[in-house]
Homo-oligomer: A and B are copies of this chain.
């Protein structure tokens, strides 16, 4: 088995990236953890996986044989492949992980891949890179790089969280948001945005430069 070296990325089984930012993250990753059948698209794009995690029910037979030495079988039916990969990585001594190809294809996969990050035990830094932007898991106080007029949305589930922001067009000042969509469709006004949560976790979507 190969060692886990940083930077680490996970490739899920959604649409393979086409934007330069996720493609560059994939190319510069020293460890690529592949979710089950996502190996098919990695293979098509000549990218080598370091590990394949899942119940191996969606890998082509020839690839399953070829990569048997790096397969990590996890057959728990209550977890999807992305959460299995994260749980497995959580035990290792790494600081952060980038998640790629987690959206596109079936909407239930896309939505649950993202929102379930608010409900799993995860102790490291985590970002999703899609073809449209980056989604960052935040706790406590976070300062994120930004640019003027960047689209910014906040995803949360726990409506008791009090948010405080700096650097947004529609600032939030130690307030709860009673509806989930109240965190959406904001804009950055500068090169940094600061988000402070009273407790719990949220996800911040930031669009790429156009």
Contact = CB atoms under 8 A, between A and B. Distances in A.
Contact of A207 (B106, B179, B205): B106
A179 B116 contact: yes
B106 A132 contact: yes
How often does this chain occur in the complex, in copies? Answer: 2
Instruction: Say which size band chain A's interface belongs to.
Output: 35 or more
A108 interface: yes
B157 A108 contact: no
30 contacts: A78-B182, A80-B181, A80-B184, A103-B107, A104-B104, A106-B133, A106-B205, A106-B207, A107-B114, A107-B130, A107-B132, A107-B205, A108-B153, A108-B184, A108-B185, A110-B110, A110-B111, A111-B111, A111-B114, A111-B115, A112-B153, A112-B180, A115-B180, A115-B181, A116-B180, A116-B181, A118-B180, A119-B179, A119-B181, A157-B157
Contacts of A111: 110-111, 114-115, 155
Given A80-B185, A112-B181, 18 more contacts: A80-B181, A103-B107, A106-B133, A106-B151, A107-B132, A107-B133, A108-B185, A108-B205, A110-B110, A111-B114, A111-B155, A112-B153, A112-B184, A116-B179, A116-B180, A118-B180, A119-B179, A157-B180
